[in-house]
Structure formats: structure tokens, C-alpha cells
Amino acid sequence: MPIYEFHCSACERDSELLVRSAKWKGAKCPHCGSTKLLKKLSVFASSVGGSAETPTCSGNPGSCGMCGTGRPHSH
């Protein structure tokens, strides 16, 4: 089962939940128990080829997979 990111309209907090993709409606917020969840667009990481290079960060969204998400990270 995939992990999805949700935003709770009741408590205004974000969460990651492990749910079946077709049956996420009715899932409960782990913070307040509300079912008023909105599925967020998630950023995912992928690698191409056999190189183990560290991603280059330009500060633009999508340049390293974390930039532009508002989440703390380092390179």
C-alpha cells in the first residue's frame, strides 16, 4: 500500500497515511480523528542510472526533491 500525504481541514495539520489508493476516503486524521482529509500532491524521489551522486540543489522546486516543499533538508 502506498503512503499518501493528507491535510486535515479540522485541525489544519498534515499527515502521512498508509492507505489503499482507492479507499482513502473515510481515513481518520491521526491527530484529531476527523475524516475531513484532503489528499495533497506529493513530491517523490527517483533515481536514474547507476550513479550514486548527491542531487544538486538550485533552490528551485524539484531540483533536489525537497527544495520548495518547505521541509527542512540539507545537502
Q: pLDDT digit string (tens) for 15-36?
A: 888 877 777 788 889 999 999 9
CB atoms under 10 Å from CB of 65, counted, come to 15
DSSP notation for 12-55:
--EEEEE--GGG-TTPPPTTT----EEEPPPP-----SS--PPP
Cell numbers placing 30: 491521526
Q: What's the whole-model pTM score?
A: 0.51
The rounded mean pLDDT for the chain is: 74
